[in-house]
Structure 1
Amino acid sequence: MFEFSYPWLFVLLALPYFIKAKQPRTGASLLLPPLARLAKTQSTDSQAGQSKRQQWLLMLIWLLLVSAAAAPKWLGEAVTLPQQGRDMMLAVDLSGSMNINDMVINDQSANRLDAVKFVLSDFIEKRQGDRLGLVLFADAAYQQTPLTFDRQTVQQMLDEAVLGLVGQRTAIGEAIGLAVKRFNTYESSNKVLILLSDGANTAGNIQPREALELAKAAGVKIYTVGVGAEQMVQQGIFGPQLVNPSDDLDEALLTELATATGGRYFRARDLTELAQIYQLLDQLEPIERDQLNYRPQQSLLHWPLAAALLLIVLLLLSKLPWQQWRRGGDHAL
């Protein structure tokens, strides 16, 4: 669909005629004062036709300039944004224990962080209509992306997260506190924090239960996920031994954080359980948003503006040879 942003500017088309009516009738009136020297009527009959063509050309130039000022644009098909969505913050543990290879991806051994990334990528892709944010934590918590509808950026920031980026320990309290702080900058009735960790709180200036009180006051619902297998074969002095690589996982704390805010605690011992957890999280009650409609716009004002400038240049070039011929004739006389 084609339209003008300022169609009322077309009243300016009458401006040259208004100026013409106010000018004394001595010679031909000018259509556009800035181009006055280009539109002077010649005294001879042989020049009358050329002057008339110049006047029509000036009228066309004026029409194109006014059209450009009216800002023509092309509107694409209407697009409706999703009416429902959630404000969801992902807090991912980057402590040293996330490097334990007790997960399997496509029959290949993988560490816990790679397994989280593998499953989260599909979860993020399906979050159409949700605002997502990403917090990474270890010795401290850092916001990688604010709440945004740009799922591709969230995915990219998660893919670029590496172990050791923010230390080796686990600051669960700071991760919750930072997420709550970011939630408080937005008006939302549905605030969801998904916290993934494989250990206990061992770092940070904010204790988890202090952060829990902040989350409850802000209306943030916390879903916690304990990552890590419960059995793993490890080579020891006396040969292979069966060990529990998740001894450090503080399930009691993660359960308390979740239940106190109306959320749930999930245990992810392998990739299948982790995927099932995200399928359950996908069923969270969404919030209602006002329906937003928009139409992609493409500005077209450069076309009439370029045409007007081109005609002005052609008009100037067509005028030069006539002036040179006239000066040459005067010298000859």
Structure 2
Amino acid sequence: MLEFVWPWFFLLLPLPLLMRFITPTTPKSEIIWWPTASLISKQSTSQSSGRVIKNPTLILFLCAWLVLVTAIARPVWVGDPIEITPSGRDLFIAVDLSGSMQVTDMQVNKETVDRLSAAKHVLNDFISTRKGDRIGIIVFGTKAYLQAPLSYDLEALNKLINENQIGFAGEQTAIGDAIGLGIKQLENKDSDKKVLILMTDGANTAGRVQPAQAASFAASQNVKIHTIGIGADEMVVQGFFGPKVINPSSDLDEPLLQDIASSTGGHYFRARSTSELSHIYHLIDQLEPTPSEDLWQRPKTTLLHWLGLLGLILIGFGFILQKTFLSKGSK
């Protein structure tokens, strides 16, 4: 569909005719500022037996005038509506890959699995629903690493999540470094909705940055941190004297995770099972909703430069034909 940004410029179209009838006849000794006007005058006097001599130069100049006025009116071609990705949050997910994540106290589809496998299962569903958000992945153990920068490619992010293995980042847990890396990746972003989800099953046992210090800096950078403590409270293991019940999450530093979340405006969650972890990510999905409205946009292509170029070409041909026409008329 063709639209014009400034359609009122079409009022200039009759200007050459007005100049023809309003401007008085100019003596030949005077300078003519508009070649087209002289051609109109020449054509009007070049009549024989009531027949006007046809002048292709005049036609070219008039066509050039029509094209240039149309260009000034800013024609825009509006295409069919297309769906665009709405602007949501910049969200980083920090996943603990320390050695303790291999404890098999979770279940997926009624099968006992380790904590990382349960986290992968839940994260796949969570990431798939975050249409409109830019999501990045941080993995941490003894050190923190950026696995994926912020991206809209949710399918690729899920593949990267599934490729993670326990111990890839070391056996210990650097919570402060993971937060610091998340802040570094988010600090230069324009988004005012910056979120970090940190999931761990232990305490800060490694790294150069203290978690409290990192959380304080995150708050100053308007980065909200939601923390998740993963791991069951009870687990039956076989001992020397038979089965016994232990607490596999005894190393989990819940007060630290609570302080990190509260100081940044986030929430702390406790996931003792895969179902609880899934419910937690559902709650986070509600706390940090993605844009709900479908956004559509009609692509617009301006035609001004093409019409302007065509007008200049017509004027150039007009001057060439004018020279030819006048040279023939002088013979």
Please state which band the TM-score falls in when normalised by the shorter chain. Answer: 0.5 to 0.7
Residue 91 (structure 2) aligns with: 88
Using structure 1 for the length normalisation, give the TM-score: 0.64
Give the secondary structure class of the aligned counterpart of 1:282: helix
Ranges in structure 2 where 5+ consecutive residues have no aligned partner: 2-77, 302-331
Matches within 5 A, 1:11-160: 77-160=80-163
Equivalents in 1 of 2:298, 2:151: separation in Å? 18
CA contact 1:90–1:193 (8 Å) conserved in 2 = yes
Matches within 5 A, 1:1-333: 77-286=80-289, 293=297
Equivalents in 1 of 2:241, 2:79: separation in Å? 71
Equivalents in 2 of 1:163, 1:224: separation in Å? 20
Equivalents in 2 of 1:294, 1:161: separation in Å? 41
CA contact 1:77–1:296 (8 Å) conserved in 2 = no
Equivalents in 1 of 2:113, 2:298: separation in Å? 44
- The alpha-carbon distance between structure 1 residues 294 and 168, as it changes in their structure 2 partners (threshold 3 A), is farther
CA contact 2:218–2:224 (8 Å) conserved in 1 = yes
Equivalents in 2 of 1:216, 1:143: separation in Å? 21
Give the secondary structure class of the aligned counterpart of 2:199: strand
The residue type equivalent to 2:179 in the other structure is I
Give the secondary structure class of the aligned counterpart of 2:116: helix
Ranges in structure 1 where 5+ consecutive residues have no aligned partner: 2-74, 298-333
Give the secondary structure class of the aligned counterpart of 1:85: coil
- The alpha-carbon distance between structure 1 residues 287 and 239, as it changes in their structure 2 partners (threshold 3 A), is closer
The residue type equivalent to 1:207 in the other structure is Q
CA contact 1:101–1:110 (8 Å) conserved in 2 = yes
Equivalents in 2 of 1:119, 1:130: separation in Å? 18
- The alpha-carbon distance between structure 1 residues 294 and 278, as it changes in their structure 2 partners (threshold 3 A), is farther
- The alpha-carbon distance between structure 1 residues 216 and 271, as it changes in their structure 2 partners (threshold 3 A), is same
CA contact 1:83–1:292 (8 Å) conserved in 2 = no
CA contact 2:229–2:257 (8 Å) conserved in 1 = yes
Give the secondary structure class of the aligned counterpart of 1:177: helix
Equivalents in 2 of 1:120, 1:151: separation in Å? 11
Deviation at 1:170, TM superposition (A): 0.2
Deviation at 1:192, TM superposition (A): 0.6
The residue type equivalent to 2:229 in the other structure is G
Equivalents in 2 of 1:83, 1:135: separation in Å? 24
Residue 61 (structure 2) aligns with: none
C-alpha distance after superposition, 1:59-110 (max 9, x if no partner): xxxxxxxxxxxxxxxx985323243511110000000000000001111110
Equivalents in 2 of 1:287, 1:281: separation in Å? 11
Percent of residue pairs bearing the same amino acid type: 48
Equivalents in 2 of 1:255, 1:223: separation in Å? 9
Give the secondary structure class of the aligned counterpart of 2:125: helix
Deviation at 1:185, TM superposition (A): 2.4
CA contact 1:189–1:287 (8 Å) conserved in 2 = no
The residue type equivalent to 1:293 in the other structure is Q
CA contact 1:123–1:278 (8 Å) conserved in 2 = yes
Cα RMSD after superposing both structures: 2.6
Deviation at 1:184, TM superposition (A): 1.0
Deviation at 1:287, TM superposition (A): 7.9
Deviation at 1:293, TM superposition (A): 3.3
Give the secondary structure class of the aligned counterpart of 1:278: helix
CA contact 1:81–1:129 (8 Å) conserved in 2 = no
C-alpha distance after superposition, 1:179-222 (max 9, x if no partner): 00000121110111000000000000111011112101110000
Residue 69 (structure 1) aligns with: none
- The alpha-carbon distance between structure 1 residues 153 and 231, as it changes in their structure 2 partners (threshold 3 A), is same
- The alpha-carbon distance between structure 1 residues 231 and 253, as it changes in their structure 2 partners (threshold 3 A), is same
- The alpha-carbon distance between structure 1 residues 245 and 296, as it changes in their structure 2 partners (threshold 3 A), is farther
Deviation at 1:136, TM superposition (A): 0.2
Q: How many residues align?
A: 226
